Amino acid sequence: MPVRQPPAGDGSRAVTAWLDAVRWNADGLVAAIAQDAVTDKVLTLAWMNREALALTAATGEAHYWSRSRRALWRKGEQSGHVQAVREIRLDCDADAILLRVDQAGGIACHTGHERCFFLKLEQGAWHDVEPVLKDPKAIYGDG
Amino acid sequence: MPVRQPPAGDGSRAVTAWLDAVRWNADGLVAAIAQDAVTDKVLTLAWMNREALALTAATGEAHYWSRSRRALWRKGEQSGHVQAVREIRLDCDADAILLRVDQAGGIACHTGHERCFFLKLEQGAWHDVEPVLKDPKAIYGDG
């Protein structure tokens, strides 16, 4: 997957001050929570590098950094399950982002669940307590 | 701050399987989101080590690992703003925790805001868009 260029104008100091304010970790990443703007459910926790956050703000669609694939990733680029971003927030010590999003297709998780947090601790074990809404094979194809 | 011992019985395999299922990072930590069980607001993003998660489950009060102080930390131990945990969830790839909590005092953030995510991106800058409910000096004392 090609790594996209930052949006035009991203090099000027005035434009990037808000990005400089983020306390990027040693890997240049910040944790980013996505919360459904309609249901208020917490959908996902993913990671952003500077470019992903800049693109999220510039395009209004959530972009992340995949730590496993080491690549920039527009959420939903394969599945169609994009996240339209209504609001971007930063926390008090500037090391976590909170997005309020409209989740396309009502599915945020690659497993076909509505969201990634479908495992609930009950009686000392994790239980899948939410349905798979769509077979991942139907989302991503068999390949 | 003394590091507490894990709860009795934590050494047996059956009791710890759910803890083993968590994908702890290289520092032995997992990201933990706290969401208000009443308002659904995302309050905080903090970190847990194994002991913090075990204690959270055992006591029903949120415990975290302070990366800056390198110490186990019962949320609210100084401020009184404890988080009573209604539910503990794990995400699909087992590297993020979601707590649903009752936030004592209605204040989760050390700044005296209701929650840590009070900075909103507007016109290319972060703006504090939520009130300080209590002066931190009144929460923690002047010292």
Average pLDDT per block of 10 residues along chain B, 143 residues long = 46 77 97 98 98 98 96 96 98 98 97 98 97 94 68
Chain A residues inside the 8 Å CB shell of B45: 31, 33, 91, 95-96
- Predicted confidence at residue B13, as pLDDT, reads 56
Percent of chain A's residues with pLDDT above 70? 89
Residue B108 burial by Cβ neighbours in a 10 Å radius (0-12, 13-18, 19+):
buried
d(CA B104, CA B79): 10
- Predicted confidence at residue A12, as pLDDT, reads 55
Strands A42-49 and B42-49: unpaired
Identify which of B42, B25, B22 has the alpha carbon closest to the alpha carbon of residue B97. B22
Q: Per-residue confidence at A14, pLDDT binned at 50, 70, 90?
A: low
Chain A residues inside the 8 Å CB shell of B95: 45
- Predicted confidence at residue A137, as pLDDT, reads 94
- Predicted confidence at residue B92, as pLDDT, reads 98
* Stated pTM of the model: 0.90
Distance from CA of A120 to the nearest CA of B (A): 4
- Predicted confidence at residue A1, as pLDDT, reads 40
Interface test with A, best of B79, B88, B92, B133 (most A CBs within 10 A): B92
- Predicted confidence at residue B65, as pLDDT, reads 98
Tokens of A6: 């930052």
d(CA A115, CA A34): 10
Interchain contact A38–B (C-beta under 8 A): no
